Amino acid sequence: MKQVKKAIIPAAGFGTRFLPATKAIPKEMLPIVDKPTIQYIIEEAVASGIEEILIITNAHKASIENHFDQSFELEKRLEASGSQEQLQMVREISQMANIYSVRQKNPRGLGHAVLCAKTFVGDEPFAILLGDDIVVNPNGKPATKQLIDAFHTNQSSVVGVQRVEPAAVSKYGIIDPKETLSERCFAVKGFVEKPKQEEAPSDIAILGRYILTPKIFELLETQEPGSGNEIQLTDAINRLLAYENVCAYDFEGKRYDVGDKRGFLKAQIDFALAREDLRDDMIQIIKEQSIQ
């Protein structure tokens, strides 16, 4: 099978859970410490061998495109002031990968957003990375790379999964496992989008990472609206099972749901603690708050 060199990052949502901050600022540009959320996602893709990335945006998210473009005026000012470290950092952002964007003109769900990338993908397998999930695996492979390896090993599309609390299954697409292929990989019998807890076939949730074949586009073009009256990617992957095998890979790494306020705050703390320049300050802040 062809190598996975392209990725899609859907980023056309309005981020209503973070209003009023997201009234003017895309949620993908909200920083974890001092780096926009979407930059962590793109860094994971690049570290996984992805060379071309398409971001699905809307008319209000030009700042995402600007962030990954070259900023001549800023670079000139940093160079003139002798800020070489910051200059290098800014230049590296615009040189990370070949990054493109296309606008989802009509917000009809994740499946429709992915369909906007049909021309970009062509006849190649591709990755999808959702911006609400940041996965950290400092001592091992990035989550997307793990899925790419599983894709080649099993010669089939792969969805990234982890187990979640039973009370949380209604927030996710849940897999109905068929058989265990390896320690971390399951053949899938079916998927259920955001089931009620008592109706969920398992506690294994799809968590924002996919490797799919281009066959998915044929199915998305004819996909009927599902949950929330939107075109659901999970429903199309369910139909994909009639044409090819799909497996679920329980990827290694700590996942942060940064689309949720609690997960976003947890990421701020953990990412600050992981940095040598901020760790002592963050520990002191935590101690001061615990005393109050």
Report the share of the chain in percent with pLDDT over 90.
Answer: 73
> Which of 203, 35, 60, 221 shows the shortest CA–CA distance to 131?
35
Report the share of the chain in percent with pLDDT over 70.
Answer: 100
Provide the pLDDT for residue 212.
97
Provide the pLDDT for residue 219.
95
Q: Report, as an integer, the average pLDDT of 183-206.
A: 90
Strands 254-257 and 157-163: unpaired
| Rounded distance between C-alpha atoms, residue 120 and residue 215, angstroms | 14
Q: Which residues pair with 279 in a beta bridge?
A: none
- pLDDT of 136 > 70? The answer is yes
Provide the pLDDT for residue 171.
86
Q: Give residue-wise pLDDT tens across range 9-42.
A: 999 888 889 999 999 999 999 999 999 999 999 9
Answer whether 247's CB lies under 8 Å from 183's CB: no
Answer whether 230's CB lies under 8 Å from 104's CB: no
Provide the pLDDT for residue 185.
94
| Rounded distance between C-alpha atoms, residue 87 and residue 85, angstroms | 5
Provide the pLDDT for residue 106.
82
Q: Give residue-wise pLDDT tens across range 106-120.
A: 878 899 999 999 999
Q: Report, as an integer, the average pLDDT of 267-289.
A: 93
pLDDT band at 292; cut points 50, 70, 90: low
What pTM did the predictor assign? 0.92
Provide the pLDDT for residue 281.
94
Within the chain, all domains assigned CATH 3.90.550.10 are found at 6-258
Q: Give residue-wise pLDDT tens across range 237-277.
A: 999 999 999 999 999 999 999 988 999 999 999 999 999 99
Q: What is the mean pLDDT of the chain?
A: 92
Class assignment of domain 6-258? alpha beta
Answer whether 159's CB lies under 8 Å from 110's CB: no
* Ranges of H-type helices in the chain: 37-47, 62-67, 72-80, 84-94, 110-115, 118-121, 143-154, 215-221, 233-240, 261-273, 279-291
Question: Tokens 């949502």 appear where?
Answer: 13
Name the more confident of 33 and 2.
33
> Which of 133, 120, 122, 145 shows the shortest CA–CA distance to 45?
145
Q: Give residue-wise pLDDT tens across range 40-88.
A: 999 999 999 999 999 999 888 999 999 999 889 999 999 999 999 999 9
- pLDDT of 187 > 90? The answer is yes
> Which of 205, 206, 188 shows the shortest CA–CA distance to 197?
205
